[in-house]
Amino acid sequence: MSDAVSEKNTALMEKIVSLSKRRGFIFQSAEIYGGLNGCWDYGPLGAELKRNLKEYWWRKNVQEREDILGLDGSILTHQDVLKASGHVGGFSDPMCDCLLSKARLRADQIEPQSGTAYHYTGASHEESGWSVDRPYSVLLQEGQDPNKAKKTARLYYAQFLTDKQISPKKLELAGETTEAVENSTHYNPENGSLLTEPREFNLMFKTHMGASADDGDESSVAYLRPETAQSIFVQFKNVAETNRVKLPFGIAQIGKSFRNEINPRNYTFRSREFEQMEIEFFCRGEDGLALTEEWLERRLTFYEEIGIPREHLHVLDVPDGERAHYSKKTYDIEYAFPFGIQELEGVAYRTDYDLSKHKEHSGKPLEFFDDETKEKLIPHVVEPSAGCDRTVLALICEAYDEETVTNEKGKQEVRTVMRFSPRMAPIKVGVFPLLKNKPELVEKAREIQAMLSPFMNVFYDETAAIGRRYRRQDEVGTPFCVTVDFDTLGESGDEAKDTVTLRHRDSMEQERIAIADLRNFLLDRIA
């Protein structure tokens, strides 16, 4: 991305963040206490938007399908579940940081080095009287100039100088000793600098169950789930046995997951608490790859249905070596956010890895008896796993639009419109009396509000000029507004009686519609 484009996108993102706050989509968590890093709250409109997304996903994937069943698993997770899945232990790679370059290296990928280690205890600068006491070492390969060790060490100690005008070359090193070293992974192969001790980066939130449990009691350890998938695998047998299913079939879940991200970024995109919408679609091994393709297509269609067009999505065929080790095929569905192209959903063929692992660790039979082939097997699984909060953010970014319109005085002004698809829009219709000081108009508008509100989210507004009310609704993405005027009351004859103005958000066009037809007109467009 060029600097100019990147600046423009940062500005766009700032506008989106600002509107989200101003209109009550997204607030910072615990804002009055200074905020909580990586946590966000949805305000009234954000909550509606997110509900609309989740409900549509659930309807399409669970309620309208005979072959997918719902589940709502607990968030607190038995430690053995996550040991079996590999989340405890295996995947928490210890990392080392280079003390000089600050590069972070995976401890298990550092090539062992041999040579001579030069140890120092500190450094000082005679003229200014500055000094630092801190052990540091440099490893030199055989044949390297010993002065290189001094040079590297001076650069290291120079980081602590308060007066940055002092040249590292002027530093006196203290307490030099040397030592022969064989196959050590404590040094950065790039520059010979000492590394920090390997540190675990386990991104799971750990807790202890029971009021009397203390931190030392390993048996009381539980975790907040890092993904919703595991409870589906763990309950696979119960669901299969209580529901007369046959392959292929799926189990779907929407719910919160937690990852203690080192570095939450990009607004709500990477947060520590997030919601997932996942399906584990169980199948015979030979169908896995074909079903992965099928699910990819189905998921892309879903995004189109909620207002994210195909051309704004990227499909990444995750190459060998970058996929999880158990996955034979993974597609990432990515969206072009203002801050970059980022993943919304992964569609992964996970083979029979998960169920096999749980069978192994629990010692319980997790085979499925296939009535058609009279065969017992561990089903394979295709997993479309979507980030709910990420998709909400994508909906907001996709909807945001500014257009220049000419007002009645002939002046150009900017109209901010959230072009949500009517299906996702937090408010479906605004209902206004043309004037608030005419009780007959107010009464009629209130009637319409009462008539529609059992079926959809209706917003009634009588303050300010009618144009302002329209613009307010534009900014929160309300697709339709209806206005009760004097024609509605029959002032210009029976033909217009009991009709209202229906105003369209995107075109700003208006049409006349009978109150009796309103409900079905709107329901047809928001379903």
Partner RNA sequence: GCGGGUAUAGCUUAGUGGUAAAGCCCUAGCCUUCCAAGCUAGUUAUGUGGGUUCGAUUCCCACUACCCGCUCCA
- In angstroms, what is the minimal distance from the CB of 257 to RNA? 9
- In angstroms, what is the minimal distance from the CB of 496 to RNA? 10
Burial readout 416-430 (b: 16 or more C-beta within 10 A, e: otherwise):
ebbbbbbbbbbbbbb
Contacts of 470 (CB under 8 A, 6+ apart): 430, 481, 503, 508
CB-CB contact of 173 with 157 (8 Å): yes
Amino acid letter, 292 = T
- In angstroms, what is the minimal distance from the CB of 305 to RNA? 27
Shorter beta-carbon distance to RNA: residue 52 or 77? 77
Would you give the DSSP letter of residue 526? Answer: H
Shorter beta-carbon distance to RNA: residue 137 or 271? 271
Shorter beta-carbon distance to RNA: residue 175 or 467? 467
Shorter beta-carbon distance to RNA: residue 423 or 436? 436
Shorter beta-carbon distance to RNA: residue 290 or 464? 464
- In angstroms, what is the minimal distance from the CB of 82 to RNA? 8
- In angstroms, what is the minimal distance from the CB of 201 to RNA? 6
Shorter beta-carbon distance to RNA: residue 56 or 486? 486
Shorter beta-carbon distance to RNA: residue 52 or 193? 193
Shorter beta-carbon distance to RNA: residue 190 or 297? 190
Q: Tell me how far apart the alpha carbons of residues 273 and 258 are, in angstroms, rounded to a whole number.
A: 5
509 exposure class (CB count in 10 Å sphere: 0-12, 13-18, 19+): exposed
Taken in order 254, 255, 260, 263, the sign of the CA dihedral is positive
Shorter beta-carbon distance to RNA: residue 375 or 511? 511
Is the N-terminal amide bond of 338 cis, ω within 30° of 0? Answer: no
Residue 477, CA distances (Å) to 88, 169, 270, 298, 390 in order = 44, 62, 25, 26, 19
CB-CB contact of 429 with 501 (8 Å): no
- In angstroms, what is the minimal distance from the CB of 161 to RNA? 12
- In angstroms, what is the minimal distance from the CB of 202 to RNA? 6
Long-range contacts of 37-43 (CB under 8 A, 24+ apart): 37/264, 37/272, 38/261, 38/264, 38/270, 38/271, 38/272, 38/273, 39/271, 39/272, 39/273, 40/267, 40/268, 40/271, 40/389, 42/392
CB-CB contact of 153 with 174 (8 Å): no
Q: Tell me how far apart the alpha carbons of residues 172 and 155 are, in angstroms, rounded to a whole number.
A: 12
- In angstroms, what is the minimal distance from the CB of 129 to RNA? 20
- In angstroms, what is the minimal distance from the CB of 514 to RNA? 13
| Residue pointed to by tokens 């996955």 | 327
Shorter beta-carbon distance to RNA: residue 328 or 436? 436
- In angstroms, what is the minimal distance from the CB of 113 to RNA? 19
Q: Tell me how far apart the alpha carbons of residues 91 and 202 are, in angstroms, rounded to a whole number.
A: 8
Q: Tell me how far apart the alpha carbons of residues 303 and 156 are, in angstroms, rounded to a whole number.
A: 51
**197 phi and psi angles, rounded to 5 deg:** -60, 150
